Amino acid sequence: MLMAVHSIFRFISMSYGFRNPAYIITQKRMLGSTSAADNYWNLLQKNDSGSSLERNLGKTNGKLDALCVEDVLRRCSSDRAILGLRFFIWAGLQSYYRHSSLMYNKACLLFEIDRKPQLLNDVLEVYRICGSLVTVKVFKVILNLSREAKLAEEALGVLRKMGEFNCRPDTSSYNVVIRLFSEKGDMDVALGLMKEMALIDLYPDMLTYIEMIKGFCNVGRFEEACGLFKVMHSHGCVPSVVAWSALLDGFCRAGNLERALELLGEMEKVGSDCSPNTVTYTSVIQSFCEKRRPTEALGFLDRMVAHGCRPNRVTISTLIKGLCVEGCIEEAYNLVDKVVVYGSVSSATCYSSLVVCLLRIKNIEEAEKVFRRMLNNGVQPDGLACNCVMKEICLEGRALDGFGLYCEMEKKFNSLDSVDSDFYSVLLAGLFQESHLVQVAEVVNAMIKKGFRLKTPHLDVMVECLEKSGQKELAVHLATVGT
C-alpha cells in the first residue's frame, strides 16, 4: 500500500489558476507581444538576409519585450537559426530593451548553441558577406551566448575575430572569456589572457581578479590565488570583500579550515570595505558543518554578530542541518531560541527549517512534535515544512491524521497561504488510497473554493475509480477541479 501511495505522490499534481486583474493584464501583454512578434516574423520570413535586415527591423512596428523576443526565436528555431540569431543580436542592441540572463538561456536552448557552436561563427560570416556594420556590442551579445552555453574555446575564437571587424576588445569582453576558462579549470589560458590585456593597454578590473581567484582555488593553485592580491595592489586595485571571500571560500571547499580561519581573522583586522559579511561567515560555518564539526560552527554566530553581521536564513538552516545530522537536537533547539532573539530570521523560518531537517534524518516523531508545537503557538510553518510533514504522515498510512492536521491548520490560520498544490496532492492521494472518501470530498470542495486544479491524466484515473466505487457525485466534484 505504501508503494501505491508513493506512486500517487509522484504522479498526481495540481496547479493554481484563477482570474484576477493581474492575470488579465498579463494576457493583454501577451496579445500585444504576439502582434509585435507577427510583424518581426513576417519581415524575417522574407529572407531579407542582406545588410538592410537590421535597418528594416528598426522600422518595424511593435513593442519589443521579452515575450516578443521569445516568440520570434521559437518561430526561427526550426529552420531559420541564423536569421533568429540576427534578430536576437539586433534586439539586444536596442536602447529600450535588454536581454536578461534567462533570455540568453532560452536562446541557447532554442538554437542548441551548445551542440551547434558553429552558429556563432556562421552569423559573423553572414555579417561579413553582407557588409553589415559589426560593433563591439554585437560581439558582446555573441560572447554572452558563448558564456551561457559554456563554450570556452568558441568564446576565445569570437574574441580573436574582433580584430577582423576592426573592433577592439575591452575589459568586459576579456572577462567573459577568462571566466569561461577559469570555470573550465584551464588557468594557464586564463592567465595568458590576463597578461595579454596589458599588451593592448587594458587593465584587469575587480571582476577579472575575482574570476581568476576562483579559478585558481578550484584547481588547488592557492599560492597563485594569493599572489593575485599583490598584483591587484600594484595596479592600484584594492581587493574587495568579494575577492577576499572568494579566496576564503576556496580554502573552505578544499577543507583547509585552518588557513580559512587565518584569512577570516585578517579580514576582520583589515576592516573597512574588506570586512567579512554574512555570506563570508556562512561559508565558514558550512565548511565546519560539512566536516561534521557543527558545535564549533556555532561559535561563529557570536563572532559574526560582534562584527556587525546578522545571520540569515541560509546561515541558520545550515547550522540546524549540521546539528541534526550529528544528533545534537538539544543544541538545535537552543540555536533557534537564540536566533529568534537576534530578530534577523523569524521564528517561523527557524522552526520550519528544524522540522525539515528532523524529517531528513528520519526523526519523524520529533519533527511532528515541533510542527504541532508551532501550530499551538500560532506560528505558521512554511510551505516546505507543511509538504514534508504531510508526505511523511501519509506514507506511514496515517492520512486521516494528516487530514486532522490540515483541519487544525485551517482553523488556526484561516487561510493557508504558505501551502501549495503539492500539499493538497499528497493529502488527497493519501486519503484516496485509504478510502477515506468523505474526507476526500471535503478536500476537493476546499480545492474548488480556493481555485486549485488537478491535472490530467491522473485526474481521469481517480475519477474513474470513484465512479466504479459508486461515488459518482464525488467524481463529478473532482472532475470540476480538473484542467
255-339 shares the fold of 26-169: yes
CB atoms within 10 A of CB 266: 13
Q: Is the pLDDT assigned to residue 6 strictly greater than 50?
A: no
What is the DSSP code (8-state) at residue 238? P
Indicate the range of 24-38, 227-241, 373-387 predicted with least confidence.
Answer: 24-38
C-alpha cell at 215: 579559478
pLDDT for position 25: 37
Q: How far apart are CA 306 and CA 173, in angstroms?
A: 41
Q: What mean pLDDT is predicted for residues 117-140? A: 95
Q: Rg of the chain over CA atoms, in angstroms? A: 28
pLDDT for position 31: 43
State the pLDDT confidence band at 270, using cuts at 50, 70 and 90: confident
Residue 167, CB-side half-sphere exposure with 13 Å CA sphere: 20
DSSP for 84-98, please give it: HHHHHHHHHT-TT--
Indicate the average pLDDT of the chain. 86
Q: Which residues, at least 6 apart from 156, have a Cβ–Cβ distance to it below 8 Å?
A: 177, 181, 189, 193
C-alpha cell at 176: 567573459
Q: Is the pLDDT assigned to residue 76 strictly greater than 60?
A: yes
What is the DSSP code (8-state) at residue 66? H
Q: What mean pLDDT is predicted for residues 204-231? A: 95
Phi, psi (rounded to 5 degrees) for 447: -65, -40
Among the residues of 46-186, which ranges form H helices?
Answer: 53-59, 66-76, 81-92, 101-111, 118-130, 136-148, 152-161, 171-184
C-alpha cell at 425: 496532492
C-alpha cell at 400: 486521516
pLDDT for position 14: 36
Q: What mean pLDDT is predicted for residues 177-195? A: 97
* 8 A C-beta contact, residue 472 and residue 445: no
Q: Is the pLDDT assigned to residue 388 strictly greater than 60?
A: yes
* 8 A C-beta contact, residue 177 and residue 155: yes
Domain boundaries of the chain, sorted by first residue: 26-169, 255-339
Strand partners, 14: 454
Measure CA 111 to chain center.
Answer: 22
Phi, psi (rounded to 5 degrees) for 16: -95, 120
267 class by beta-carbon count within 10 Å (0-12 exposed, 13-18 middle, 19+ buried): buried
Q: Give 26-169's CATH code, choosing from 1.25.40, 3.40.50, 1.20.144, 3.10.620.
A: 1.25.40
Q: What mean pLDDT is predicted for residues 370-393? A: 92
Residue type present at position 371: F
Q: How far apart are CA 333 and CA 323, in angstroms?
A: 10
Q: Give 255-339's CATH code, choosing from 1.10.10.10, 3.30.200.20, 1.10.3720.10, 1.25.40.10.
A: 1.25.40.10
SS3 14: strand
Q: How far apart are CA 208 and CA 212, in angstroms?
A: 6
Q: How far apart are CA 179 and CA 184, in angstroms?
A: 8
Question: Which of 420, 417, 424, 367 shows the shortest CA–CA distance to 392?
Answer: 367
Q: What mean pLDDT is predicted for residues 401-406? A: 93
Please give the helix or strand (H or E) that residue 168 lies within, else none.
none
Q: How far apart are CA 69 and CA 286, in angstroms?
A: 41
Among the residues of 149-291, which ranges form H helices?
Answer: 152-161, 171-184, 187-199, 206-218, 222-234, 241-253, 257-270, 278-290
State the pLDDT confidence band at 45, using cuts at 50, 70 and 90: confident
Strand partners, 16: 452
Q: How far apart are CA 351 and CA 340, in angstroms?
A: 10
Given the C-alpha cell 588557468, which residue does it identify?
A: 187
The 8 Å CB, 24+ separation contacts for 205-210 are 205/171, 205/175, 205/237, 206/237, 206/240, 206/242, 206/243, 207/172, 207/175, 208/171, 208/174, 208/175, 208/178, 209/237, 209/239, 209/243, 210/240, 210/242, 210/243, 210/246
pLDDT for position 329: 93
Beta-strand pair 452-454/14-16: antiparallel
Cis amide bond preceding 457, omega within 30 = yes
Percent of the chain with pLDDT over 70: 87
Indicate the range of 16-25, 277-286, 292-301, 343-352 predicted with least confidence.
Answer: 16-25
* 8 A C-beta contact, residue 320 and residue 353: yes
